[in-house]
Amino acid sequence: MNDQKINNLIGWVCATIATLTYAMTMEPTTSWWDPGEFIAAAYRMQIVHQPGAPLFLMLQNVFSNLAFGNPERIAYWMNFGSAVSSGLTILFLFWTITALVRKIVYKAGDMPTPWQTLQVMGAGVVGALAYAYSDTFWFSAVESEVYAMSSLCTAVVFWAILKWDARADQPGADRWLVFIAYIMGLSIGVHLLNLLTIPALALVVYFRRASCVTAAGLTKTLLIGCAILAVILWGVIQYLVKTAAYIDLFFVNSLGLGFGSGAMVFALLLVSTLVYGVWFSTRRAKPILNLVLVCLSFVIFGYGSFAMVLIRAAANPSLNNSHPEDAFSFLWYLNRGQFGSEPLLRGPYFDSKIVDVQYGSPNYRKGHDRYEQAGRGFDYSFDRTTLFPRIYSNRDNHELGYRVWLGLGQNERPTFKDNLKFLNIYQLNHMYWRYFMWNFAGRQNDREARFANYTDGNWISGIKPIDQWRLGGQDRLPAAERSSASRNTFYFLPLLLGIIGMVWHLRRRRRDALVVALLFFFTGVAIVLYLNQSPLQPRERDYAYAGSFYAFAIWIGLGVAGMTGFLQRRLQQRVAVPIAVISALFMAPALMGTQGWDDHDRSQRYMARDMARNYLESCAPNAILFTYVDNETFPLWYLQEVEGVRTDVRVVNLSLLGMDWQIRQMKKPINTSAALPIKMEDHQFAKGTRDVLHYHDYGIQDSVELEKILALLLSDNPSDQLEYADGARRNFLPTKRFKLSVDTEQVLRNGVVPEKWHQDIVDTMEWTYTRDYLTLTQLAVMDVLVHNQWERPIYFAASVPATERFGLEAYLVSEGYTLRLMPLKAHIKGTDGRRLVNTDATYGNILEKYTWGNMNGVKHLDPTSIGMIGETMKVFSDTAEMLIAENRRDAAKDVLNKALQVLPVEIHQVDLAARYPVLTRQLYEVGETHTASALVERNIVFLDEQLAYHAAIAETKAQVDGLAIRDSILALQEFANAAEIGGQLKLRDRALTVFDRYRSIFFG
């Protein structure tokens, strides 16, 4: 068998191993975050969040057919689609590594010796499988997300440029460049990360074509590569559509033609220009121009997958994010208009004050028969700005995040030095190098460290002296930490192997090493600089840097050749090569695979699907359910759109409800759910009309009927509006004191309130709105409240922040994972200030309807699932508390025993342990003394170990997690109180002894 056949065969073997690994460990159903939306959209060809991924959706739809009509298996087969994409990525990575090593180990055209072949193939196997078992890549390989397919695009184009490099002197070799251009175009329909390979590809072309490599030539090539990247990223993706939009504006508004006529003319002109350019360059023998035009044509041709977005948006599917049906809405969709942008070259500090607003060109929206102006673009001027802004955001709690990371006082103003400090300690170190070390050195645990502390989410090596020096406390590591599946220790071995490969590559073939280094930089650090991430990210972002880790995996493979070269100085080749290959296999892929299997094995995880089902099953028929973030929305969409579960419930995401397109969709029926009772006309909430309405205190003392407030906010009468600095008149909010009159007969007729509370129904609901402005979100909620007339049950997901509940907190009753709006008197709001719980509903839900995601049966629970366990514990404890207050102790005992049956036995986080005192006290109160005491004993041991660990860290003067320390000490006190209630005085004293010991250590 010749070298090429061996290369192909072993490459496919590696791909098969990787694919089987992912198939064995992939999630059997939907996952947290975006997969729920992607699966639902792919199955029914719908529109996902901006900027879309149409090619990914169409390919995943193909994989959905393997379910053969079984809706419960559709997610499984789409996850398998990611597994296949990831396996093919490993195939192309193997071929890339062997191509690079082969160029050094023996000359082209020579017949390699068996030991040279083993060296080349061993390098490919080690590098490819090391990446296959890397943390970041493995995570994306087992769920239906775009990053697996995006990695495949990166692997294909980098492999293809090496194929071109090997054949550049042959006739027709440039077809490989055309192929690369087509893959680039196609990748836009998956994810934009693949475009960042362009500067590295340009360098390959330069090295191959240049007769003499110079510093000036390198610089020019890099600038050209960046220019090509910019042309595709902005010129093709955005400005082609923008040009089409403004030509369409002229054709529609000035010439009176139909929507899309101008865009169609532009498309014909573009195609005609490209065809003529190709013909002209061929006739005039201009090969470079011809190649550029052909490649551009294929980029645009691949980009054509976005036609799916326009076609399907026009069909009005259930999920139709942004409804990009015309040129301007499509442009807004591609530009990620709803997400905003971050300043890159110049911008404010987080404490800068706005001093002026500059209004730019008008925005447009589709009207009845012409485009209408929808406000104007604007930019703020600030009192302080800086070059290269890194600490710029004042949204949410970002200012607090910046101050904590930088160690700034409450009123201390940041400087440019702080700007660079944040870039270094957070954006580069925390949000990139920490992930890099996770993949190639080891990981402490997978808990999210939102602030700079060493007790969560850091990297480790497994070499105790080094970890002790960096983190402290390794001699007092808790049992829960030692046994955690997410603790992976690689002893720096994959990292060392990659460094060996990088050094060997630089010494033996500097040009190729520079290409790989450029790929490493542009898909890693360059992304850090471009993203300019603010603190308090809602999740880990390592998936963005998979391309950078891919490049390092190339060097891990080359590390085999580097080790071989070192050993050959002392041993014969027939001994050195096998030792190097076998050693490297154990140093990287074998070690990474065995360490990472347990925390990457999702084959028994059902939490995302089952918690979504619980949200829906918490609702009465035909309910309106307000949600807020991804994880309480996307899995619900999956269940409704794919599995057909509770399609009568209308899921309304409050984060999206502030968009005019979302309100229009909510005014239409979907599946078996009726339209929302929103009476606003389309022109009243059109984009740019009432996006933000500010509060101006008119001194109104009494509460105002919500219907009157709504009428005032929607009035087009100038006398109901205020004139603002830009000369425009806008509606405004004159009071924050609202009331809603209640039709008691309607409430009783529709069963809004349980019979036991009928006497507590109020005739008027009164509350105070807390914000100084209204957005379309609140305006739409107000419209629903006014016009629903208690016809449909209204719920908020329990996880929706209180600030997003429109001030209705006093009228929300728990029915499990949701809070139902009921017009009840405040004096029955539960016991000891707790929220009122409709125990009739929650008791039946817990024992009969809810499913629990196998949370007590999996080897490892991810951070998002653990957060849902905390919410689940609250459902149990709130229900039991109210049952006890109602003197229904047997029912409370059923609920508590169910909790212990379904909750995980092992405790690995303080925030969960801190929730157990409530359940423990309730167990004592219903007579489950033995069970309660066992819980107290288990948690005392756990908390004692946790606090001893923190104390050991504090002794080394390393940073400790003050919040975890506080929660642990308070939990010990609560366990002592619970034991005392149960008459277990010895147990109480044990808890207090531990409590006193650590209170004195940490608080004196």
Three-class SS of residue 670? strand
Above 60 in pLDDT, residue 675? yes
Q: How many helices (H) and strands (E) does the chain have?
A: 40, 18
3-state secondary structure 674-704: CCCCCCCCHHHCCCCCCCEEEECCCCCCCCE
For residue 833, the model assigns a pLDDT of 60
DSSP 573-596: HHHHHHHHHHHHHIIIIIHHHHHH
879-915 pLDDT per residue, tens: 999 999 889 999 999 999 999 999 887 766 777 777 8
Distance CA 441, CA 435 (A): 10
Number of residues written out for the chain:
1004
For residue 872, the model assigns a pLDDT of 92
Q: Which of 445, 427, 446, 439 is nearest to 548 (CA)?
A: 439
687-702 pLDDT per residue, tens: 888 888 888 888 888 8
Bridge pairing between strands 704-705 and 737-741: parallel
CA-based end-to-end distance of the chain: 75
The count of C-alpha atoms lying within 13 angstroms of the C-alpha of 822, restricted to the half-sphere facing its C-beta, is 29
Q: Name residue 381's beta-bridge partners.
A: 356
Residue 379 dihedral angles phi and psi, to the nearest 5°: -130, 145
Above 60 in pLDDT, residue 828? no
Q: What is the pTM (predicted TM-score) of this model?
A: 0.92
718-729 pLDDT per residue, tens: 888 887 766 678
Other C-beta atoms closer than 10 Å to the C-beta of 129 total 26
931-968 pLDDT per residue, tens: 999 989 988 988 998 888 888 888 876 677 777 888 88
Radius of gyration, CA atoms only, the chain: 31
110-140 pLDDT per residue, tens: 788 888 889 999 999 999 999 999 999 999 9
444-503 pLDDT per residue, tens: 988 887 666 667 888 999 999 898 888 888 888 888 888 888 999 999 999 999 999 999
Do the Cβ atoms of 102 and 120 come closer than 8 Å?
Answer: yes
Identify the DSSP state of 451.
S
The answer to whether the bond into 51 is cis (omega within 30° of 0) is yes
Cα–Cα distances (Å) from 160 to 194, 196, 220, 505, 510, in that order, read: 13, 15, 23, 20, 20
807-817 pLDDT per residue, tens: 898 899 999 99
Q: What is the mean pLDDT of residues 504-523?
A: 93
